[in-house]
Amino acid sequence: MAKLAFLGLGLMGSGMASCLLQAGHDVTVWNRSPGKSEALAANGAKPASSPIEASRGAEAVFSMVADDQASDRCWLAEDGALHGLEPGAFVIECSTVSHAQSERLAQASGSKQLRYIDCPVNGPPSAAASGDLVLLVGADPDDLDVARPWLEEISQSILHFGPVGTGTAYKLINNLLGAVHVAATAEAAHLARNLGLDVDTTVAAVESGPVASPHTRRMIRPMMEGRPADSVGLAIGLREKDARYCLAMAHGLGLNMTLGEHAHDWYAEASANHGTEDDSLMLETVTAHKGKAPTRG
């Protein structure tokens, strides 16, 4: 049994922290809104009043929060977790942060002789709760070997991309690709609806065809029916943030991402009205650029 801490108890973080508790670890938790700690506390977690309090005595601290600003709050604030850890402890950032933020955290951790692992994830909240996430890891191999038993308890697979920063780099590429998939699905659905294609037949064709990514399978029916998806995937505002971070990473290398930039523009527009809603609502923004608004069924 290890002494661990978990910072950020949203839909993803609460499920991940629960898996660590179920594995028998001593888990201290912190969330900006304290009420989110209650369910975990009922199952044995120890709520903390600040990240630094949560981190004291921990062998590893995990974080799963929304963006760079929230990550700074967890780790680098005056009462951030980096200030409570002993040398040799692990800093495990599971949030989708910018590549620059990952580098900053790695440097700050190294200056305190802490071991940093960037560990963003693939998978929905249901996978977080069941311990079936895919972890996208950038880490020193020796550090990963030590942390692997904890990581295995929240995942079905660990993909090690290389040194620190590479896991975050891939995660941003992945989520920009997702933004392109969703925007393209919205365009295709809009065209199919204007052509009068049968909804059920179109859905069956997409789901069984060569473009049937998880995104298109989840989006095609609600978009063909002009409604939000039944299950929440990634909020429009979070996808916009991830796409923006990826484009900044690419621009830092002098690269353009033409399709990604167009998709991000649509997400930025949609975020103003639907930032906290599922990105199946991208259909409204895409169709607004085509001259006809969708009919909400």
* Widest CA span in the chain: 64
Can you tell me the distance from the alpha carbon of 234 to that of 274, in angstroms, rounded to the nearest whole number? 12
Cβ neighbours for 179, distance < 8 A, ≥ 6 positions apart: 239, 240, 242, 243, 260, 263, 264, 267, 279
Can you tell me the distance from the alpha carbon of 294 to that of 288, in angstroms, rounded to the nearest whole number? 8
Which of these is catalytic: 171, 241, 290, 292? 171
Can you tell me the distance from the alpha carbon of 69 to that of 273, in angstroms, rounded to the nearest whole number? 22
Look up residue 7 and give its DSSP letter.
E
**Cα dist from 149 to 96, 141, 153, 251, 285, whole Å:** 22, 14, 7, 36, 44
Closest C-alpha among 44, 1, 57, 58 to residue 24: 1
Closest C-alpha among 165, 143, 278 to residue 219: 278
Identify whether 290 is a catalytic site residue. no
Cβ neighbours for 264, distance < 8 A, ≥ 6 positions apart: 176, 179, 240, 243, 244, 247
> What residues act catalytically?
171
